[in-house]
């Protein structure tokens, strides 16, 4: 599987590609990189995002997951840059329970690009985050997008 690691403001990130689509983004470095045009495009778009020059991503994505997880991830991808939704709001929109929605968010294999960091708990509580520094990473991403964090 082609893969590419690079540095970012939230630590080292590794992108993975399969069948012409991004299938995962993880934290950490890889022993070897296998650059492809798509991985380079994804890296460039992430760098533009972190440089404040991009507010959305234009990449083919194919995260592996259940039908329910796919539904949740598709909804996450529609939350605009700089905006948030609560677990409750999103759960109501999808006709599911907030806890189930939170579980799908936590299993998002392409964080940042599929913006699970834009989902908050009741009354703006941070909830959780799968990033390398957890809530600190989530807060960084939200501040980067101009979201006021108490």
Residues belonging to the active site: 116
Residue 53 CA to residue 118 CA, distance in Å, equals 19
Residue 18 CA to residue 24 CA, distance in Å, equals 9
Residue count of the chain: 150
């Amino acid at each position: 599987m082609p893969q590419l690691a690079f540095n970012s403001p939230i630590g080292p990130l590794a992108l993975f590609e399969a069948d012409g689509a991004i299938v995962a983004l993880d934290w950490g470095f890889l022993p070897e990189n296998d650059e492809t045009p798509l991985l380079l495009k994804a890296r460039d778009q992430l760098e533009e995002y972190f440089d404040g020059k991009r507010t959305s991503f234009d990449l083919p994505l194919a995260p592996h997951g259940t039908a329910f997880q796919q539904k949740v991830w598709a909804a996450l991808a529609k939350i605009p840059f700089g905006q948030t939704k609560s677990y409750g709001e999103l759960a109501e929109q999808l006709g599911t329970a907030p806890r189930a929605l939170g579980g799908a968010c936590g299993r998002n294999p392409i964080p940042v690009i599929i913006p699970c960091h834009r989902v908050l708990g009741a009354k703006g509580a941070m909830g959780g985050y799968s990033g390398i520094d957890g809530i600190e990473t989530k807060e960084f991403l939200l501040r980067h997008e101009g979201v006021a964090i108490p």
